[in-house]
């Protein structure tokens, strides 16, 4: 779909800025496990995820996206990171992307 391609292109091109905004929102959340992790680590992780999501929208490489999410979940479990915080992080990203989609005028089908 054209909207998905445009959003995918935006995610790949602006992954750093989107990740920074995502991290800022997560760090502002009281009680988030992200507040106890090094901010550079969290930002890098978020940037990789945003880039993977963009590539998924561009190429429909669902396997790559699933592998990325599974690896992150497994890594967070190994360091005893609350999985609920990871789920909350994805919800925060969803809200952030909806705001961005609306602001950029991308079609609703891209969400």
pLDDT at residue 30, as a whole number? 67
pLDDT at residue 31, as a whole number? 64
pTM as predicted: 0.73
Percent of the chain with pLDDT over 70: 86
* Torsion (CA) 36, 42, 46, 52 in degrees, nearest 10: -120
Please give the Cα distance from 2 to 8 (Å, whole number): 10
Q: Is the pLDDT of residue 27 over 50?
A: yes
* 53, HSE (Cβ side, Cα atoms, 13 Å): 20
| pLDDT tens digits for range 66-79 | 877 787 778 777 77
pLDDT at residue 52, as a whole number? 85
pLDDT category of residue 13 using cuts at 50, 70 and 90: very high
């Amino acid at each position: 779909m054209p909207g998905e391609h445009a959003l995918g292109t935006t995610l790949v091109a602006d992954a750093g800025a989107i990740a920074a905004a995502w991290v800022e929102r997560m760090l502002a959340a009281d009680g988030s496990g992200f507040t106890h992790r090094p901010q550079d680590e969290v930002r890098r992780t978020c940037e990789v995820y945003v880039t993977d999501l963009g590539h998924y929208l561009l190429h429909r490489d669902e396997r790559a996206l699933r592998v990325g999410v599974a690896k992150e979940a497994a890594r967070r479990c190994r360091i005893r990171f609350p999985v609920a915080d990871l789920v909350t992080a994805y919800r925060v990203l969803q809200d952030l992307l909806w705001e961005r989609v609306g602001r950029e005028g991308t079609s609703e089908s891209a969400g």
